[in-house]
Each structure stands twice: as structure tokens, then as C-alpha cells.
Structure 1
Amino acid sequence: MRKPIRSKALLVSLMFVMLFALAACGSKNNNGAAESTAAPSASAPAETAEATAAPEAEDGLYNIKDFSNIKTNQGEAIDGGTITFGLVSDSPFEGTLNWNFYSGDPDAQVLNWFDEGLLTWDKDYVYTNDGAATYEVSEDGRTFTFTIRDNVNWQDGKPVTAEDWLFAHEVIGNPKYDGPRYGSDFTNIEGMDEYHSGKAKTISGIKVLGDKKLQITYLKSTPSLLTGGVWIYPLAKHIFGGMDVAKISSSPELRQKPIGFGAFKVESIVPGESVVFVKNEDYWRGAPKLDKVILKVINPTTIVQELKSGGVDLVDSFPVDQFPDNAKMSNVEFLGAIDRAYTYIGFKLGKWDAEKKVVATDPKAKMADVNLRKAMWAAVDNDTVGKKFYNGLRWNATTLIPPSHPEFHDATNPGVAYDQEAAKKILDDAGYKLNGEFRTNPDGSELKINFISMTGGDIAEPLAQYYVQSWKAIGLNVTLEMVEFNTFYDRIGQNGEDDPTVDVYQGAWGVGIDVDPTGLYGKDAIYNFPRYASAENDRLLAEGVSEAAFDVDKRKEIYKEWQQLMVNEIPVFPTLYRAVVVPVNNRVLNYAIGDGTGLYYNDIAVSADKAAVAQ
């Protein structure tokens, strides 16, 4: 559950109607179209077909279990065709278009269409041998030998090679690297520390055995290696090999003319606004059925009209607060699944030490007192928020391992229950005395808490204001600042610089296929935005990827203990778990959301030249 988005990367989600726009960490499947065995069904042409009936609400509440994650095919596929994909956001996408460097989900949504990882995974989040590369593991579980398929080529015709895979590791391990990837997955590779510190010119644990064969030896065999602990994204050495590592992320080759080896290739980019993709005839799984995909940024306030008019065929995610009023939209089918994500309130407890590349917790930080943090958690009624604002498609979150990982999510842990009287008592007992309308610090000084949240749809600010009012009800003086997506993550430290004016923030994480939360809460994780560290946290995170953790029951026990630790120490507290709801135009065929379904981007087709329009 770590790593910044896709490929282990930060996915901060379209939460609260884009209140949070999935920023990356965690790793989603590279198959935006996912995988499926759904068979086409005969029915009327797309222009006149009615959407498959949406799930019904019970007492005004929907249950994500009632949704299908696989699109019902309507009609027969035509040759070629163009679809429009809506990236729902009130901000431009940043444009860091390479898996080795990007940090936010909007960029990941662009990347998905033209690039992918060398390995894929199944519905249980285990790497398979069905991807662009296959792998074998040594008996001791430390050495992986990868073989890239012969027909896997970059979109400029050059083969994807073992040297490219090695090069990605060399760039990320280079001290000049300015992306967010370097962390425990890389330091677990033999010789990586020596290479990173300049003591060695090569990474001793990585060997190129042939043009298409790479071997990586890890210091420790961990249960995470098969579920996200291997870096699966090569970097085209023939393009970036002669470039200063510090300049790669800002280069035109990455931002204006990016290439990958995915189903579509970039034809043109309007920075931050739109991308035109054309089919990659040389795609290793087979040429795509579609000729072209147009991606454009759609403001959450206009998404309904875009869908009804056929202006977009599908979107990355639909604001779920708008779902009840649009559940019967006649020209789309709504797909749904439990999202690998949660929203949360984070407390700034220190800063990032750029020299040592670890968090530096400050015992004198404004939010350092766990009693203050616990009271702020107890003051908010997230169960009601989920029901009233999201009709059950967001629901009260209790721990930092979401139910998308049912083996490890501790459903018995209640977190901190909503109880404003209890919250007041916690503050009273800790010495935060009321002085008029608001409380002072235990030493009598003024307590003013600065809270930032993201802009988005119509209810973004009202929801953030709900938290402010909840905290005011227990005597806390909290001021709110609404910030657009890219600025928000800069201010809370995605580049290693923490804005000292921020005390509390509201964010969201999309989690990786691996349950290990080190990439979000480890002391050497730049995405550890609260800048939290403790000896007990170090111990449990290490045990979670230890040899003992190969026993699944033991690993469950470890992460159950870790979830409770985070409930006790509260560097952040989860607010809502989420469902992802995706409307898909009736003419779109062979589409699904979620993991392990069997469909890929090259499978997507359409049954008509034009999108169906709502009747």
C-alpha cells in the first residue's frame, strides 16, 4: 500500500467530488480497461439503446456490491473508431509523463493509455507471467530473473531491453534523481545503497544477462516482492541515456513527446488540457481495435452535461454525490467497484530532511500532542457524511488498510468513534482550556490551527467547512484555505519542501496492490506527509516484510497491530472509504474497471461511430 501511484505510486483520489483528485501512491493495475471474460450481448444499436439498469437505492443508500465492474456490450464492434476519455479535474494535469517520475493520479490517467509495466497481476494482486515480461524466482526468494518478450518495443520502433530496465533503476538510484520513487523497494536491491552514495559505479545486484533478460538480487526475500516490490517500469536509455538525470523530468522528451510501449501512442499534447492518442499497430498484445483516443480534462461541474451529450464516452471516475440524480442516465452504464483508496485528515508533525532523506519529526510541532489529534478525530461524524453526501458510496473509515484488501483490513477495529462530548473531555483533561469561544494551548498561549483542503466540485468547500465547524464545536479555532490540486501537494511536501504554515490537511491515498504501507508511512518515504516516525512503527513495518510474514496469518497479525498503532498515535486519521463509479457510453465495448478481469486497452471497441446521446 505504498508506492506512489501506479507502479506503486501516489494516487490521491477524486474524493469529495474531486475534493481530492487521486494523487498517486499505490499501484493500480496498468490495465485501465482491466480484465474480463464478459461476452458481448446482442441488443439495439448504441444510439438508441438504453443503459443497463442501475442498482436501486434502499432507504436512499446505495451498496457498491450491487454494481457490476464489467460493461455490458451492446451491439457489434465496428472497424476502428474514436472515443473521448474525460479526466475529471478542476486543475490541469501536471504533465510528468513517465512512470519513473510522475507523482499525481491525473498524470497516471494520461500514462495509462500509452505506457504500462512489464509485469501484470491477478485479482489477488500477485504478479503473473501474462505481461510483457515473465519471471522466475530463485529457491531462496531473493533473485528474480526476468525475460522481456521479443515483440515488446518502444513506440519509436526500438526494442524494450534489459538495459532499459536497468537504466530505470540507475536513474532512480542516482542522487540527482528528483522523482518520488527511491525508497525501501530500491534500497532492498543488493548494491543500491553503495551506488546511491557514490561508493560504487554500478548496482551489483542487477545484471543484464542478454538483450531481453535481466536479473535482480534483493538483500531480503519479502512477501511484498511478488505483490508490488519489484520495479516494473523501464526507461528508454536510447532517449534519456545521455541526459543529465536532474534534467530528465523537465525535458521535452518526457513532457511533450513521451513514448511508452502501450496500446496507444501520443500524437499531440495541449499541456495540462488534452492529449490525442493513436493506435500502436506494433503493440505486443496486438493492434488496438480503436483508431484513436482523445483525452481531455473535464471540470466536475460540467461532467454530467458532457456525458449526456456524448461529449465524453467514459471518465476516470464520477463524482458520487452526483450519482443519485443521474443513475438513470439513458446513454451510459454505470460500473462500480470498491476503490483501493481512502480519504484522510493529516497532521504535520515535522518536516522532510532532504540531506538524510528521512522524515524529521518535531516534538514541538503544533499538532504534536496526540490528545489534540484524537479529539479532532472524535469530533467528526464520517458515518453521516458518507450517508448524507454520498448516499452510501463513501462510508466511515476506521483504519489505514482499506477493505479493498480484505485479508488484511481489520474490520473489528472501530478506530475512534464519533463523540463530541468525549472529544471535549479529551481536550479538557489535556489542559486545552476554553478562553471565550476557543481553547488555548495547555501553556495558555493562543491555539490557531491552519487547515488546507483541495478545490473541486460544488461540495468541496462545504465539506471542508463541515470539518472546520465540527472542530469549532469542541472549541478549536481552525482556519480553512482551499487550494488547487497541484499547489496542494507541493505545499504538503511532495517535493520534499513542507510549507510551515500548514498544520492540518485533507488528502486521499490510492493504495498499491501490496498491502505494505511503508511507502506512505515509513521514515524514509517522501510521501509520509505528516512526517511521522517512531520505533514501534519501524518495527512493525519491518516485520510486515520479514521472512516470518511469508506466513499469511502472521502477516495479518502484524498489520492488525500496525493498524491499531496508527489508531493510537494518529499521525493521520482515515475519514472515508470509497467506491469508484464509472459511467461508460452504451457504444463502448469490452471495458471493465478493477483488477484481474481480462480486458486490456487494445480490446476496447465501439459499436457506432458516434457516442449515444441521453434521451
Structure 2
Amino acid sequence: MSKSLKVAAFLCAVMMVLASCGGKTGQKQTARTGSDTEADKTLKLMFPQMIEREGSTIKGGTFVYGFVYDTPWKGVFNTFLYQDNPTYEVMRPRIGKFMTDGPNHEIKDSYCVMTFDREAKTATYHINEKLTWSDGVPVTAEDIIFVYECVGHPDYTGVRYDSDYENVVGMVEYHKGEAKTISGVKKIDDKTVEVTFKNFFPGILWGAGITYDAEPYHYLKDIPLTEMASHDRVRKTPLSCGPFVINSMVEGDILEYVPNPYWYGRKIAIDKLIIKRIAPTSAAAAIKAGEVDAVQFKADLYDQFVELDDEGKTVFDENGKPKMKVDNIDIVGNIENTYTYIGFKFGTWNKEKEMCEMFPDGGKFKDKALRQAIGYAMDNDGINAIYYHGLRVTANSFITPYHPGFYDVSRKGYSYDPDKAKQLLDKAGYKDVDGDGYRETPDGKPLKINFMFMSGSDVSAPIANYYIQNWKDVGLNVALNDGRLIEFNAFYDKLQDDDPTVEMYSAAWGVGSNPEPTGLYGKVAQFNLERWVNDKNEELLAKITSGDAFDEAFRAQAYRDWDENILEEAPAIPTAYRMKLYAVNKRTKSWDQQFVTDWDWCDLALISEKPAVNMMK
């Protein structure tokens, strides 16, 4: 769920409202590698983070973006109701950049400017005077307040109501039905909203308790909240205040965007933007044939475009660049704001109390030694080399390189050490009592672990089986849930619904711009899918969110202490950081994946009427 299920957004504010999409200067940029970034501490960037090609931009044309996925997106085109990352990714042209982030992923001016007053405990939205919905109605304060009132409403069943929103004055009373409005959310004028917090902590500067998108109050206000996610105004005809608006669709498979006629920013060069879903098995052929102008692809397609040696490693040419097998694309890449992990189920979500509750007996993974042993038994380095050609590295922390100010490259994490895994299990009393090759529990009972793994690519099954063999090598009996891989939507439905068959699972988090982890691992966070509750964890999270954490040194140490504790307790095991890669057709004028950029969908442009087609054999 990457920016899909995004926990919080952005930081601080500048005082100027830009009159264009992101405030781009228009100066020509050259392709950059990642050699000067913090990312190099963990992952060598073999490709440029952005490209801008020579050549005059043609007038109009249709840009086709391929979305590689094996199942349709759910299509809940609303920023407080969607739950799946595919939907978020394909609706980004509709959203645009309501807020952007600065060098440390802090809130920066864009369509909306934020100002903060620590003494008054307030954050104030200043909406651009020119920002307008695609039906011609201006974006106003009501559109911000509407988001707060929907997320906080007693009927809200989404996943974004959490402790950060509860920190807004009056939110808890409103959520309980004890108040008709949220007292801490006030309209100052048509373009200004002031939000008052109970506790003003550093995470607010990154967007904790702040909505980073607006939704059209005038268009949705008459729809009951319980019906909104299925309503045509959300599913088929959503409004947009970004550069593009949906013109037509084939549900779950194709979106046809056209420029928002009321877009106030940089002039859009293309006539249409089509986003179409491409099955992973068809993606390479579509890219080579020029059927798409840009596509994000996974490492399992890498060998279709880049030469590999017998060990699966990238072959470089005489200039030190990856040797390409196709000539109609360039590859652009950067580290994702994502980490993959193995999670353990400890309990369930109590809907009435709105908090995680652990199983009374602690559950199958109550023993920390078992969890740690599972982590040390995993050969993530092998998986990264064999199946991902070095485009992933073993994660050493729950904080990613995407947040260089908080990430600790020296952290050891869980490296492959099967001997240590065996020692931990032996000492904790997990031994093979009956001689079948698998360990029993300390009280002599059979130990079999259900492992839920997601489908989605050709390497999904081999990786799942590789892990299962790793665990078998240290005497643990692990098998796939129902003996099969689980499709994306069903996978997360099972996790969020606390399906009792789910015991251990492999998933990924898109961490958003806010590094603050309460929204993923706090006891009142619905995103805490492990349902893990730990007193020391709560204490350390409280330090991160305390007033003391405005001090940079204190804040950095608080993050280190939290990370050290959660790695020790191992309610989950971080497994990999990964590279996001895009194949970009050579008729595309520019494509930018730098961490900090003002490039947006409104900058899409073509330099040729026809797409480039691969001519190499």
C-alpha cells in the first residue's frame, strides 16, 4: 500500500502561494545519477533519477501510462476512502500536488500553503485563490473541513482515523457523536482553515493530523458516508482540482484523463492521458512495441530490458552504464519510500474500543525467540541477488533510506544467520521431539505456521518457496495459507479483517513523507496489522511525538531508540528496501523520480507523434 495507505504527509511551510503546478522554474535539467544522495549508503543507483530530452514538444497527442498489475484496481477515487495502492497510483493525475515536500520531506508550498504556530498549537491551510474543481466551482475551506468531518464521523469505516486525528481539538467528541462539529477545525474565510491541536508535536510539521488533499464538499455532501465509497460520484465521475480529470473508464482497467478545463497551473501539452492496466506477462512486449510511453516495472521484468550475466548480475558497457537489450526506452529509477517485511499476528482490532487487542494467551508468536529466529533464518541477500538482480537490499531498519535524516545505515537488523536461528530456538525449547525434522513447541505440541504470501509476479511463488525452505532448514514447519498465493485485494482484506487463518505474512508498507511510526505500530492504529501492543513501544513513540522532539538531537535519538526496541521485539521483520524503475519511451520529453522535485503530471509532453519501437533483437 505505498503511498496507497499513506500514514501522514509532509512538513513546514513557506509563505508564498505558487501560481503554477509545483512552481517549476523552466530551466533545463540534465540527467542525474544517485551518486550524491544518501541513498548510496545502501543501494547503488544504476540509472538516472530523471531525464529531460532534447527536441521540440509537439502540440497535443495522447500519452499512455501502463500500470503493471495482475488484478484490477478497486477504483474508490477519493483520498480519505481508498485503501489499495493501485487506486492511489492511478488517481494521482486527478489529485496533483496539493502539497509537496522539501529536502527532508517537509510540507512545502504548492496548491495549498501551511503555516504553523507552535505556541497557539495551530496549523493553518491557505488555499490558492485560483484552485478550482473541474466543474468550475472554486476549492474552498469547506473542502478541507469536509475531509476532517468525514474521517472523524461515527459512520466512517475507513482506515485513516487514528491518534493523529484524535489530537485535533474536538475530534474525539465529534467521533463519539457528542458534538455536531469539530471545535478545533475552523473556517477563517473561504480560502483559509485553522486547525487547533491538543498537543503540538513535531509530527504535525510532517502532516500528522493534517489532510494533504481536499475533496469536493458541494459534490459529495448529500451522499451518506456509508454509501460514498460505492457511489458513482466517487467511482465513475469524481471531480478533480489537479491537472487532469477522468473523462471515461473501463472500470479497474483503463482511465482516460483529459486536462482539467479550470486548471490554473503550467500549461498542459498533451490532449489525453490514458492509464491502462497491463498484465505482468504482457508488460515487456507492450513496452518494446511502444504501446506505452511510461511504465513502472518490477525487478522480475528487468532481464527483458537489461543484459545479465550467468549469475543474474547486471552487465555494464564500456561507459559503466547497464547494457540495454532494447533501444526504444530509457530506464529511470530511485529508491522507493517502501519496505517489505514479514509480519506476525498477535491479536485483533477491537472496533468498539478502536484499538488493537492482543490474544489473551499471546498467540503462536508470543515467544520473542521464535520471532527473532524466523528473522535470522531468512536469506534475504540471496533472494535479492537471485530474483531481483541486486535491485533490492536487505533492510536493516523499520526506517528507510527515503528519510536520510532518521535512517541509520549502521543498524545491523536481521542478516542471514541460520546457526543463530537454531541457537535461539534450542535455547527457547523449540526442539524436534518426534524426529520428523520439524521442531515442536516448548510444551511438546506440533508447531505449524501458516504463511500468507501475495501473488502478482512470476517470482512470487519461487520467493515464497525459498523462504519456506529457509525456515525448514532451521526446523520450522511453514506452509502457505490454503497452499496457494493470495491475490492483492483478498490478501489485505484478510489482514484487515483479522482472518484467523492468517498467522504470518509477507507485505510492504509505503511509509509516506512522515517518518513518525505511530500510525503503523501504535496501539490505536488500524494500520497496525500485527495488532501488536507493547508498553515500551508506546513509551518510545510518545518521546517521538513529545514537545522535546522539536530539538533535532533529541528527535534523532528518539527515532534510534524506537527502532532499536522494535527490532529487538520483532513484531515484524523488515526484509528489503527496493528500487522503483520506470521504462520511459524515447518520445517522452521528461520523467522525474527525484525525491525532491516540482515535476508533476501537468509536465507530460511528447517530442514525436509516434512512439519509438524496439529495433534490437
Question: Considering only aligned residues, what root-mean-square deviation do their CA atoms show, in Å?
Answer: 2.3
| Cα distance between partner residues in 2 of 1:218 and 1:361 | 30
Q: Distance in 2 between matches of 1:605 and 1:285?
A: 15
The answer for the alignment partner of 1:544 in structure 2 is: 544
Could you report, residue by residue, the CA deviation over 1:147-169 in whole angstroms, capped at 9, with x for unpaired residues?
21121111111111101110110
Distance in 2 (CA, whole Å) between partners of 1:289 and 1:333 is: 21
> What are the within-5 Å matches in structure 2 for residues 382-461 of structure 1?
382-434=380-432, 435=434, 436-461=436-461
Residue-by-residue CA offset, 1:41-62 (whole Å, 9 max, x unaligned) = 99xxxxxxxx99999xxxxxx9
Counterpart of 2:163, as a letter, is S
Aligned residue number for residue 233 of structure 2: 253
Q: Counterpart of 2:320?
A: none
Contact 1:36/1:592 (8 A) holds in 2: no
**Structure 1 Cα separation of the partners of residues 541 and 60 of structure 2:** 49
Give the residue type in structure 1 aligned to 2:375. Answer: W
Q: Is the 8 A contact 2:10 2:514 kept in 1?
A: no
Q: CA deviation at 1:63?
A: 5.3
Whether 2:74 is the aligned partner of 1:104: answer no
Distance 2:204 2:8 in 1: 14
Displacement of 1:502 in angstroms is 0.8
Q: Tell whether the 8 Å contact from 2:8 to 2:207 is kept in structure 1 after alignment.
A: no
Specify whether residues 428 and 63 from structure 1 end up closer, same or farther in structure 2 by C-alpha distance, changes over 3 A only: closer
Residues 135, 147 of structure 1: 8 Å contact kept: yes
Task: Answer yes or no: is 1:344 the counterpart of 2:335.
Answer: no
C-alpha displacement at 1:103, in angstroms?
1.4
**Is contact 2:104–2:403 with CA below 8 Å preserved after alignment?**
no
Q: Is the 8 A contact 1:118 1:148 kept in 2?
A: no
- Give the partner amino acid of 2:479: T
Q: Which runs of 5+ in 1 are unaligned?
A: 11-23, 43-50, 56-61
The residue aligned with 1:585 is: 585
What amino acid maps onto 1:358 in structure 2?
A: M
Report how far residue 139 of structure 1 moved: 5.0
Which residue, out of 76, 80, 102, partners 2:56? Answer: 76
CA deviations over 1:377-409 (Å, ceiling 9, x no partner): 110111222122222210011110011112111
SS in structure 2 at match of 1:581: strand
Alignment of 1:52-63 (within 5 A): none
Cα distance, 1:612 vs. partner?
A: 0.9
Are the equivalent residues in 1 in contact too, given 2:337–2:402 (CA < 8 A)? yes
1:367 to 2:365 alignment: yes
Native 8 Å contact 1:344 1:506 kept in 2: yes
Matched position secondary structure for 2:592: coil
- For 1:487, the equivalent position in structure 2 comes to 490
Read off the aligned partner of 1:485 and give its amino acid letter: F
Give the deviation of 1:200 after TM superposition. 1.2
Q: Which one of the candidate residues 263, 268, 271 is aligned to 1:283? A: 263
Deviation at 1:326, TM superposition (A): 0.9
Aligned partner of 1:297 in structure 2 is 277
Q: Secondary structure at the match of 1:339?
A: strand
Shift of 1:541: 1.0
Q: How far has the Cα of 1:80 moved from its partner?
A: 1.1
Structure number with greater CO (CA < 8 Å, separation at least 6) is 1
1:231 and 1:140 mapped to 2: Cα distance?
A: 21
In 1, the alpha carbon distance for the partners of 2:413 and 2:462 equals 25
Question: Which residue of 1 is the match for residue 290 of structure 2?
Answer: 310
User: How many angstroms does 1:594 deviate by?
Assistant: 3.3
Q: Where in structure 2 are there 5+ consecutive unaligned residues?
A: 12-20, 36-41, 307-323
**Matched-pair contact (CA < 8 Å) for 1:38–1:72:** no
Q: Is the Cα–Cα contact under 8 Å of residues 2 and 509 in structure 2 kept in the other structure?
A: no
How does 1:228-247 map onto structure 2 within 5 Å?
A: 228-229=207-208, 230-247=210-227
Mapping 1:88-237, distance limit 5 Å = 88-116=68-96, 118-129=98-109, 131-140=110-119, 142-229=121-208, 230-237=210-217
Q: Which amino acid in structure 1 is aligned with residue 385 of structure 2?
A: K
Name the residue aligned to 1:519.
519
Q: Return the alpha-carbon distance in structure 2 between the equivalents of residues 53 and 534 of structure 1.
A: 41
Identity of aligned residues (%): 36
Secondary structure of the structure 1 residue equivalent to 2:51: coil
Give the 3 Å change call, closer, same or farther, for CA 54–202 of structure 1 in structure 2: closer
User: For residues 558 and 298 of structure 1, what CA distance do their matches in structure 2 show?
Assistant: 43
Which residue pairs with 1:272 in the alignment?
Answer: 252
8 Å contact from structure 1 (residues 25, 509) kept in 2: no
- CA distance in structure 2 between the aligned counterparts of 1:54 and 1:325, rounded to whole angstroms: 23
Structure 1 residues 503 and 41 mapped into 2: Cα distance closer, same or farther (>3 Å)? closer
Letter in 2 for 1:401: I
Aligned to 2:582, what secondary structure does the other structure show? strand
Are residues 318 and 54 of structure 1, via their aligned partners in 2, closer, same or farther at CA, if it must alter by over 3 Å?
farther
Per-residue CA distance 1:342-383 (angstroms, 9 max, x = gap): 111000111111111111112431122111111111101112
The one-letter code sitting in structure 2 at the alignment partner of 1:165 is: I
* Equivalent-residue separation in structure 2 for 1:108 and 1:28 (angstroms): 17
Task: Find 1:376's aligned residue among 351, 374, 377.
Answer: 374
Match of 1:467? Answer: 467
Q: Distance in 1 between matches of 2:552 and 2:29?
A: 40
Equivalent pairs counted in the alignment come to 575
Q: Which amino acid aligns with 2:393?
A: W
Matches within 5 A, 1:544-563: 544-563=544-563
Q: In the TM superposition, what is the alpha-carbon distance from 1:26 to its structure 2 partner? A: 6.0
> Any conservation in 2 of the 1:35–1:596 contact (CA below 8 Å)?
no
| TM-score of the pair, normalised by structure 1 | 0.89
CA distance in 2, matches of 1:38, 1:471: 54
Distance in 1, Cα, partners of 2:178 & 2:581: 50
Q: Residues 28 and 335 of structure 1: is their aligned pair in 2 closer, same or farther, counting only changes over 3 Å?
A: farther
After TM superposition, give the deviation of residue 189 of structure 1 in Å: 0.7
What per-residue deviation string (whole Å, max 9, x for no partner) do you get for residues 252-300 of structure 1? 1111111121111001121111111011132121342111011111112
Q: TM-score, normalised by structure 2?
A: 0.89
The C-alpha deviation readout for 1:282-331, integer Å capped at 9, x for no partner, is 2121342111011111112221111110111111x211233244131211
Secondary structure at the aligned position of 2:45 is classed as helix
Q: Is the 8 A contact 1:451 1:502 kept in 2?
A: yes
Q: Partners of 2:461 and 2:151 in 1: how far apart?
A: 37
Amino acid in structure 2 at the alignment position of 1:136: T
Report SS of the residue matched to 1:345.
strand
| C-alpha distance in structure 1 between counterparts of 2:150 and 2:607, whole Å | 44
- Equivalent in the alignment of 1:569: 569
1:142 deviates by 1.4
SS at match of 1:467: helix
**Aligned with 1:208: secondary structure?**
strand
Look up the SS of the partner of 1:482 in the other structure: coil
Q: Does the 8 Å contact 2:34/2:45 carry over to 1?
A: no
Supply the distance in 1 between the matched residues of 2:24 and 2:438 (Cα, whole angstroms): 55
- The amino acid across from 2:405 in the alignment is E
Structure 1 residues 39 and 350 mapped into 2: Cα distance closer, same or farther (>3 Å)? same
1:452 shift after superposition: 0.8
Contact 2:10 2:205 in 1 (8 A): no
Amino acid at match of 1:455: S
AA at the equivalent of 2:154 = P
AA in 2 matched with 1:285? G
Q: Secondary structure at the match of 2:52?
A: coil
Contact 1:5 1:103 in 2 (8 A): no
Name the CA distance, whole Å, in 1 between partners of 2:23 and 2:267.
17
Matched-pair contact (CA < 8 Å) for 2:52–2:589: yes
Residue-by-residue CA offset, 1:573-609 (whole Å, 9 max, x unaligned) = 0111111111111111132013322212111100112
2:301 corresponding residue in structure 1: 322
The match for 1:358 is 355
